[in-house]
Amino acid sequence: MLDAKSLRLATLSENTAKSLWLIGEWGWSILIESEDERILFDTGLRLSATHNAEMMGIDLTTIDRIALSHGHVDHTGGLRDILERMGSEVGRSNFLDRHERIVDIVCHPDVWGQKFIRYAGETEYGFRGIPFRKEELELRQGARFIESRDPFWLTEDIVWSGEVPMTNDFEQVAHICFLRQEDGSFLPDPLTDDAALYMRTNLGLVVILGCAHRGMINTIHHAREVTGMEKVHMVVGGTHLVKASESQLDSTVRELKRLRVEKVGVSHCTGQESAAKLASSLGSDVFFYNNAGNIVTFLGG
């Protein structure tokens, strides 16, 4: 079990920035640092993660591996730039000769799907998938993709979630907005690739959300089942409550309180109105807004 005092969560990319010289950009990227492992979870939309890492004094070459929450561009668009900064960019012809490092990237196989979005009242479909070819990242940047539908343990106490089951009656994927293209047709995207990271600590579970397309509460329940821990100390990341109904927000707050989640840090796709609702309902001892440049540390048990 991780000693929480050894953990540090550094948000590299988020819609808003905490301080001067940092960039706010729609998307999400967070670095998890423990005694034994440095894991980057998502890579933001474009250049914000690499820029902000430099401004925050974070050396990206020391990252051990990358995990992806899902295949939307605002979580994967910075991947090539991150890999280049990690020092793994080489030409195909001399890749093996130079023995450059291989970077393991854990993800769901569906991240490579043709993902689109269409907003209410619009007729145009906008591409929102990964803006790179898998082969390019493997051959030019030294990426090695580890694809799984099931939970994948990165360390003894940190697990990438795999597919999150839809188990409650108030959270659902926004099928009207999110679509996938198959054989020329646009179909609802169940976003089975929507994943999170779970960490077992002496304070309880720390749940790192990506976008929580399949539900913040569904993800928390899945974390408890996968890890075998009931107590949830912290949940941080995108909650996808940006267009949640009042009923869903009420159910979310009620379940967070029932589970006695001790800290809730919201980011990215939460939305200002929903963030305000969570803040007023949970109180300042529990709620915090987690933006680019924020560093989360833990006092221990």
DSSP string over 40-93: EE---SSSHHHHHHHHTT--GGG--EEE-S-S-HHHHTTHHHHHHHTT----GG
| Ranges of the chain with pLDDT below 50 | 89-99
The pLDDT value given to residue 84? 92
The pLDDT value given to residue 183? 85
User: Do residues 117 and 95 touch, judged by C-beta distance below 8 A?
Assistant: no
The pLDDT value given to residue 123? 75
For residue 186, list its beta bridge partners: 181
User: Do residues 115 and 153 touch, judged by C-beta distance below 8 A?
Assistant: no
CA-CA distance, 103 to 58, in Å (whole number)?
18
Sheet holding 204-208, edge to edge: 152-153, 158-160, 197-201, 204-208, 232-238, 263-267, 287-289
The pLDDT value given to residue 93? 41
The pLDDT value given to residue 91? 41
pTM over 0.85: yes
The pLDDT value given to residue 177? 83
The pLDDT value given to residue 21? 95
- Architecture label for domain 4-294: 4-Layer Sandwich (3.60)
The pLDDT value given to residue 119? 77
- DSSP secondary structure letter of residue 95: H
